[in-house]
Amino acid sequence: MATLGLIRHGVTDWNGQYRAQGHTDIPLNAEGRRQAELLSERIRSERWHYIYTSDLSRAMETSVIIGEVNGIEIRVDERLREMDCGQIEGTTEQERVNQWGYGWSKLDLGIEPHEAVVKRGRECFADLAERHSDQNILIVSHGALLGLTLKRLLAHIDIRENLSNTSLTLLHSGEPRWDCSLYNCTKHLTGSPSSFI
């Protein structure tokens, strides 16, 4: 059985401004780098074999910080890239309403369909779990890709809470379904108890 440690990248300036990032390559800010450093310290005593990361710089930089501290090899997988947000990238909710009206989400603005995002995520997770059976793999990706994929894989669990930046979620492969032993845990940031499923 493979264990996948799912990590949402550290925070960026656009996260703080509630701007849709999508494929736009926004780097971590100072707080995002600090979050990644705190997470790397948290997992220092754990055994992780590889890090697989999105090719976008906010995920890559998060991975490099974790990998350098813990001596973990980093591999890039473009399937872990964030959902393509089309014309809304770089905008806030209010800016979208101002430009396209309150029904903007029903318009064809070039946004990648959720089903396509889930397909990428599921295929990637399944491939990595098969390739690294009986190993522990960290995956550094993005809020929409991770969140949408988890909701599909863990339909038997009520997970409405959005993933926080540098949160850790533990996913275990297996038959007949995936299992989750830890969800959206940020104890390295807050010192609060882990959020166990």
Distance between CA atoms of 82 and 66, rounded to whole angstroms? 20
Catalytic residue status for 49: no
Q: Which is catalytic among the residues 82, 89, 142, 188?
A: 82
Q: Which is catalytic among the residues 9, 61, 142, 188?
A: 9
Catalytic residue status for 115: no
Output the DSSP codes for 60-108: HHHHHHHHHHHT-EEEE-GGGSPPP-GGGTT--HHHHHHHH-TTGGGS-
Question: How far does CA 29 lie from the centroid of its chain?
Answer: 17
Q: Please, are residues 66 and 168 in contact by the beta-carbon 8 Å criterion?
A: no
% helix / strand / coil in the chain, to the nearest 5?
40, 15, 40
Q: Annotated catalytic sites, by residue?
A: 9, 82
